[in-house]
Amino acid sequence: MDNVTEQQVVETVRKYLKDYRPGGAVLTVVTQGIRHEQDWWYVSVQPSVQPAKRYEYYEALAKVEQELQKSEHLTVLLLPAVAAAELAAT
């Protein structure tokens, strides 16, 4: 995807994330702080709850990154964020 906008990146990442529920968590794009540097997009992703097996969360993010590269020709680094439930508890 050439000349892609931040909004297009958000929508595309959301589309791919919806198929993943690591540990039952819903994954959400954090729209604040998205960066584009050279050919890379940096996008934070927040789980609704912290999966008991955290590696499932990281594996899901890695798979989505690969799918975005292969299918959309979009180079995205998905950055894990603190679970929404943990933020609400503070």
Helix (H, G, I), strand (E, B) or coil at 49: coil
User: What values do phi and psi take at 20, rounded to 5?
Assistant: -120, 135
Domains of the chain, each with CATH number or no CATH: 6-83 (3.30.300.20)
Say yes or no to pLDDT of 89 above 90: no
**What CA–CA distance (Å, rounded) separates 53 from 85?**
16
Q: pLDDT digit string (tens) for 37-77?
A: 999 999 999 999 988 899 999 999 999 999 999 999 999 99
- Residue 5: its pLDDT value, please? 95
* Token duo for residue 81: 């964020």
Residue 30: pLDDT band by 50, 70, 90 thresholds? Answer: very high
Residue 82: its pLDDT value, please? 83
Strand partners of residue 44: 30, 79
pLDDT, the chain, mean: 92
